[in-house]
Structure 1
Amino acid sequence: MELDIVDLSRLQFAMTALYHFLFVPLTLGLSILLAIMETVYVMTNRPIWRDMTKFWGVLFGINFALGVATGIVMEFQFGMNWSYYSHYVGDIFGAPLAIEGLMAFFLEATFVGLFFFGWDRMSRIGHLIATWCVALGSNFSALWILIANGWMQNPVGAAFNPQTMRMEMTDFAAVLTNPVAQAKFVHTVSAGYVTAAVFVLGVSAWYVLKGRHIELARRSMTVAASFGLAASLSVVVLGDESGYLTTSHQKMKLATIEGMWETEPAPAPFSVIGFPDQEARETHYTVQIPWVMGLIGTRSLNTEIPGINDLVVQAEATIRQGILAYDALERIRAGSGTDSGEPAAIFERNGAALGYALLLKRYVDDPRTATEEQIRQAAIDTIPPVAPLFWSFRVMVFLGFFFIALMATFFVLAAKRRLTAHPRLLKLAVFAIPLPWIAAELGWVVAELGRQPWVIEGVLPTALAVSNLSASSVLLTLLGFVAIYTVLLVIEVKLMVNAIRKGPRTDEGASLRPRSNLPRATADAPLAPQPAPTQTA
């Protein structure tokens, strides 16, 4: 089988990103939970809350260290595997990455050290501030990464310069306030909060089932259920916001997620289930709920959501417009007609469609020589893989509503002080531990696979962004990364399991052991006989 450099480069980045995101959500959520627990400790001065903070902090530290190790590699891949991408948009994409490295990463790393080694060297208030800085640093790190990713989904605040043949930033504030980036940030961070809440809830439920560290487990479950319920509700609300923005900026992604080939009368129905057939360009055996997709996607009853086939027709027209922009650009570079200003004027009118002309580079070196069949095929290429997106989205949504139900149930049990009364629910919480990671990974599949064939939506096709490397070298590094990351994942799971089995270490003696109201015998003071109880009226 012939190896394709583009597919291999995409697969390598996808594997490293998915491995890295196994660590990120837990870091985001646990950092906030640690800050909440330590805040309660400072307010109440009860040692058990300090012990809780330290115990969950150990698990946070293991996860944080391996998350950093896997994240560094991803940034180097932009220069190694995606050199033309880095050249083409480095002025815009590099800015948030640099800020993330210089500000958020160093802020986070510095205060992580204070968190672990400052317990006996700092005041309680000082250590609490350090813990909150760890939480803020973790979230700021995610903010800048998602600003960069949001720009790839909705490239605002930038323009193509015909002289340098690169995208250049024109409005840094527009990049920062990109609505797609902001929606992705709050949605992704909330998903991390749910991940940590389910993790804490599940581990605590395991302790209750084993009859160990009951007081720590009950308090941890109460915090996790309260925090997790708010986070799971926000994930659904913020996911709805992301869907609404997708209608404006990535219509093809939305139609593909829905498996909607033809434009439906407004308001469009939502397909609960179906079997997309990309070759036949139809979705079989659909079960639909009327109006729901129209309300989610447009928040109105009279706005149509275009189907895939209509969007392909629009893409074909945009490709033809892009060919005009490409021709004008070549004339500008050759100095032909520059005195009259005609090429510049043509490019000014059609330059926004230049990226669509570059889709033809897959078939011809010069898009101006493309045949009608090649133009039609390039337009069809704008359809992402339908079935994987269709099912990934539905599984993710189902899990989102499951987390709401799970957290609401334990929130009610916590309010009634009956957290330990239902062993089957405790077992369900334990078995639910891996589910948030599945939902998070599927979310990234929807976000990134749904953008294809673009590495930057409407600007740069993925096929043009790769480095000039041999397929064998990319395959070799891909296998190497998978092997190393798998080893790291096994190491983390083993370290986490060992730390959980070992349980918390207490600083105040018996703060976590069950307490008895009976006096204890000691070597110096043997237990004295107790008087018999008297019966009273």
Structure 2
Amino acid sequence: MDMAVVELSRLQFALTAMYHFLFVPLTLGLSFLLVIMESIYVMTGREIWRTITRFWGKLFGINFVLGVATGITMEFEFGTNWAYYSHYVGDIFGAPLAIEGLMAFFLEATFVGLMFFGWDKLSKVGHLAVTFLVALGSNLSALWILIANGWMQNPVGARFNPETMRMEVTDFYSVLFNPVAQAKFVHTVSAGYVAASVFVMGVSAYYLLKGKWTNVARRSMMVASAFGLASSLSVVVLGDESGYALTDNQRMKLAAIEAMWHTEEAPAGLSIFGIPDMAAQETHFEVKVPYVLGLISTRSLTGEVMGINELVLKADERIRSGIVAYDAVEKLKVNRADMAAREQFERHKADLGYAMLLKRHVADPRAATDQQILIAAKDTIPNVPVMFWLFRIMAGLGFFFIGFFALAFYCASACKFSKPWFLKIAVAIMPLPWIAIEFGWMLAEIGRQPWAVEGVLPTFLAASSLTIGQIWTTIIGFTLLYGTLAVIEVRLMIATIRKGPVEHHEPEMSRGSAGYAPLPAE
């Protein structure tokens, strides 16, 4: 496989995935914020909460449409750009995606129309139930997608079948309750809740700074500050759980995040700052907090966190074991009744994927030299400096959001969001959740390299047989299309925000009757 084709295929998928992920977090978070706001309307009967819910619902709808449109493209890319991946692991990976489409997306898509057009046709409780089902569908979609992605990070409940030359499901329960997938789900949706809370806070703060729709803005900020505080705490706590999951399933990713070149005496310290140097295999100007990494990743004072160099030696051993499995598979291709080859394969089948790393350097892994095996083992090291800094920026923003929402929660009772300096901060930080979320996605995917499926299928073997020209054509086409959609989406969002929470059937002078007219300066 031409590595230029592989890298361009990765670039295309990364661009489309990152673009799609601009809309997903806001959809996840706004859906449950709408449930909270409408619940208050149903319980109190106050029309202002109906107006608040409908206003944020319009912004949810605009974002929802773009999220759906950009997500469909990614599903097709598995077949167009990653054909061998789809062939090799499609039996496992395709199941969660199919369930997501049949169960979650149809639930979401069916009720979203009722949510927007059923306000005057359904009872209050009935419409609230519809809104809840839309939120449930949105979050279930995320669950099934992350089960699929979690399996790529930690491929449990499946085995390689030498008769079909494909991976097959052996235990769907293990796939469904994969600890990596569960940790990724709760961490990802909590990040979406934070993004939506910051969005609501920022737009509401803009209204307060302009002296417009102040009753709507203050009530929205009160809901968003409480929801955001709980969500930001959840993100950090569940991020800790993700770190614990890495200890058993992706040790190289954990070592790269910490730029830990050598195994330290337990419990390992956590690096706060440093400049990783891959050539010298050391971290310059490193500042560490003792014991913290060991406590996070092993939940003990005695658990060991392996360093990069030791993990390379471990990969070397697994590659050699994988060569034995590869040899057995080749023998079984010739004679499926060869019981000695079958036994040989069963003993070493867990390492078959490691032997396939050698195909980047030699056509037949069985002919690899010691030098080629060592090079393939070193290929398991991801980009350490990128991993190191992506994690620290993401984690730093996570703690920042806790502080921001704690301050917002205090301001809700102490000053009713009347301080201009706080309102300006709320507007200024609106892009930050998306930066943290995109960095988190990059951290997860770059950290998995060189694997498309951890320990099972190298990325360079997963791509389709395309030409460089074909991939560049689609990259340019998607960039132009998505750029146009982005302009349309931003213009629609801005126009809706500028218009404010105005109901189309209400005359201009009647806004005050709903209790949300602009108030004089307070």
TM tier, smaller: over 0.9
Could you tell me whether the CA contact under 8 Å between 2:3 and 2:460 is conserved in 1?
A: no
- Structure-2 separation of matches of 1:489 and 1:250: 35
Residue 297 (structure 1) aligns with = 297
- Structure 2 residue identity aligned to 1:513: A
Residue 312 (structure 2) aligns with = 312
Could you tell me whether the CA contact under 8 Å between 1:325 and 1:354 is conserved in 2?
A: yes
Structure 2 residue aligned with 1:509, among 504, 511, 518?
Answer: 511
Tell which deviates more after alignment, 273-282 or 33-42: 273-282
Residue 474 (structure 2) aligns with = 477
Q: How does 1:20-35 map to 2 (within 5 A)?
A: 20-35=20-35
Matching of residue 170 in structure 1 with residue 170 in structure 2: yes
Partner SS, residue 285 of structure 2: strand
- Structure-2 separation of matches of 1:454 and 1:438: 25
Q: How does 1:126-525 map to 2 (within 5 A)?
A: 126-335=126-335, 338-339=337-338, 341-416=339-414, 418-506=415-503, 507=506, 509-510=511-512, 511=514, 512-514=516-518
- Structure-2 separation of matches of 1:513 and 1:454: 56
Could you tell me whether the CA contact under 8 Å between 2:215 and 2:519 is conserved in 1?
A: no
Deviation at 1:191, TM superposition (A): 0.3
CA RMSD of aligned residues (A): 1.2
- Structure 1 residue identity aligned to 2:517: R
- Superposed CA deviations along residues 54-97 of structure 1, whole A, max 9, x for unmatched, are 10001000000011110000000000000000000111100000
How many residues align? The count is: 512
Could you tell me whether the CA contact under 8 Å between 2:275 and 2:285 is conserved in 1?
A: yes
Structure 2: any 5+ residue segments left out of the alignment?
none
Deviation at 1:168, TM superposition (A): 0.4
- Structure-2 separation of matches of 1:216 and 1:351: 61
- Structure 2 residue identity aligned to 1:363: H
- Superposed CA deviations along residues 498-518 of structure 1, whole A, max 9, x for unmatched, are 1111111145632211579xx
Deviation at 1:419, TM superposition (A): 2.8
Higher Cα Rg, which structure:
1
Tell which deviates more after alignment, 309-318 or 271-280: 271-280
- Superposed CA deviations along residues 350-401 of structure 1, whole A, max 9, x for unmatched, are 0100000000000111100011111110000000011111000000000000
Deviation at 1:110, TM superposition (A): 1.1
Tell which deviates more after alignment, 418-427 or 302-311: 418-427
- Structure 2 residue identity aligned to 1:362: R
- Structure-2 separation of matches of 1:324 and 1:513: 75
- Structure-2 separation of matches of 1:84 and 1:174: 24
Identity %: 64
Could you tell me whether the CA contact under 8 Å between 1:3 and 1:471 is conserved in 2?
A: no
Partner SS, residue 167 of structure 1: strand
Partner SS, residue 167 of structure 2: strand
- Structure 1 residue identity aligned to 2:367: T
Deviation at 1:137, TM superposition (A): 0.5
- Structure-2 separation of matches of 1:16 and 1:270: 34
- Structure-1 separation of matches of 2:426 and 2:416: 11
- Superposed CA deviations along residues 472-528 of structure 1, whole A, max 9, x for unmatched, are 101111121122112212221111111111111145632211579xxxxxxxxxxxx
Partner SS, residue 511 of structure 2: coil
Distance 1:3 1:148, change over 3 A: closer
- Structure-1 separation of matches of 2:208 and 2:519: 16
Could you tell me whether the CA contact under 8 Å between 1:410 and 1:419 is conserved in 2?
A: no
- Structure 1 residue identity aligned to 2:130: A
Residue 61 (structure 2) aligns with = 61
- Structure-2 separation of matches of 1:482 and 1:265: 48
Return the TM-score normalized by structure 1: 0.94
Greater helix fraction, Structure 1 or Structure 2: 2
Residue 530 (structure 1) aligns with = none
Structure 1: any 5+ residue segments left out of the alignment?
517-537
Could you tell me whether the CA contact under 8 Å between 2:212 and 2:518 is conserved in 1?
A: no
